[in-house]
Amino acid sequence: MKIAIIGYGKMGHEVENAALARQHTIVVTIDNAQEWEERLEKLKHADVAIDFSQPDQVVGNIHRCFDLHIPIVVGTTAWQEHFEKIKARCLAEKQSLFTAPNFSIGMNIMFMLNKQLAKFAEKYGYQLSMAETHHIHKLDKPSGTAVKLANDILSVNHDYNCWSIDEPADHTLYIKVKREGEVNGIHSVMAESPADKITLTHEAYNRQGFAMGAIAAAEFLIGKTGVFGMEDLF
């Protein structure tokens, strides 16, 4: 498989390592506007693109790949307000898009456990809260992963009607956000009653899990059209 890496920072380099380990070829890396101009011809030879760029760049990157009919896997978060428009173009033109708030296999297992915990919390009177910690370079607060965890809780637990990173309030799911050091990502969901406390936590030790998940998504996307996520890969 010939892969283009868009966004050649720490995650881009990790994706490169994971791709080479699985005997794939990196045909081009693109990290800025100048490289888009200089390396466009190389991009045309890619079977799939993997984007771990920045939130303010990703929508344009997706459209550029669609213009060339190159399937794209998007690991960048904080662009979901544009998702419906991107999805509409993808489906109308029979393009290929795979997007997820988190590509870690372990984190996606936690997504499933989180929904079950949220259902039982409502049934048995547990109060829910969340916490997430990332490195100081992460731009979005809360993380895209935390947003998915929170929205999944809201979808199955009617004790809450919204989430917030501000102070706790009635019927509001509170998310405590921290940015410190070089933390790769820690997400926790807590369910507490007068009798006990349950905590689900996923901690990423490094970026390898995210990179391997992105490569698996790219392999899955080849030959398909439409919009896909980790549920489809599972």
Regarding whether 94 and 153 lie in a shared domain, the answer is no
Across the range 29-55, mean pLDDT stands at 97
CATH number at residue 226: 3.40.50.720
Catalytic residue among 134, 148, 187, 202: 134
CATH number at residue 189: 3.30.360.10
- Range of the structural domain that residue 80 is part of: 2-103+208-233
Regarding whether 152 and 70 lie in a shared domain, the answer is no
**Tokens standing for residue 233:** 């890969």
Regarding whether 111 and 99 lie in a shared domain, the answer is no
pLDDT at 139: 80
Burial track 41-63 (b if 16+ CB lie within 10 A, e otherwise)? eebeebbbbbbbbeeebbbebbe
Across the range 213-232, mean pLDDT stands at 97
Regarding whether 132 and 87 lie in a shared domain, the answer is no
User: What's the structural domain count of the chain?
Assistant: 2
Regarding whether 138 and 82 lie in a shared domain, the answer is no
The tens digit of pLDDT for each residue in 139-148 reads 889 998 999 9
Regarding whether 119 and 50 lie in a shared domain, the answer is no
pLDDT at 67: 98
Please determine, for residue 234, whether its predicted confidence score (pLDDT) is greater than 90.
no
Please determine, for residue 78, whether its predicted confidence score (pLDDT) is greater than 90.
no
Please determine, for residue 38, whether its predicted confidence score (pLDDT) is greater than 90.
yes
For 170-218, the DSSP string reads: TTEEEEEEEE-TT---EEEEEEE-SS-EEEEEEE-SSSHHHHHHHHHHH
**What does the alpha-carbon distance between residue 40 and residue 23 come to, in Å, rounded to a whole number?**
23
Of all helices (H) and strands (E), which one includes residue 147? Answer: helix 144-156
Which one, of 67, 141, 148, 139, lies nearest residue 102 by Cα? 148
CB 215 within 8 A of CB 15: yes
pLDDT at 36: 97
**Tokens standing for residue 42:** 């190389």
- Answer yes or no: 69 catalytic: no
Regarding whether 109 and 99 lie in a shared domain, the answer is no
The residue assigned the tokens 């949220």 is: 118
**Tokens standing for residue 139:** 């731009």
Regarding whether 26 and 90 lie in a shared domain, the answer is yes
**What does the alpha-carbon distance between residue 45 and residue 47 come to, in Å, rounded to a whole number?**
7
To the nearest whole percent, how much of the chain has pLDDT over 70? 100
The tens digit of pLDDT for each residue in 118-163 reads 999 999 999 999 999 999 988 889 998 999 999 999 999 999 999 9
pTM of the model: 0.85
Regarding whether 99 and 6 lie in a shared domain, the answer is yes
Regarding whether 112 and 66 lie in a shared domain, the answer is no
Count CB neighbours of 83 within 10 A: 15
Going by their DSSP bridges, the two strands 186-192 and 127-134 should be labelled as antiparallel
- Answer yes or no: 134 catalytic: yes
Residue type, 120: F
Regarding whether 145 and 219 lie in a shared domain, the answer is no
Regarding whether 145 and 70 lie in a shared domain, the answer is no
Long-range contacts of 37-44 (CB under 8 A, 24+ apart): 42/4, 43/4, 43/68, 43/70, 44/68, 44/70
pLDDT at 168: 87
Catalytic residue among 10, 94, 138, 148: 138
The pLDDT confidence band at residue 71, using thresholds 50, 70 and 90, is very high
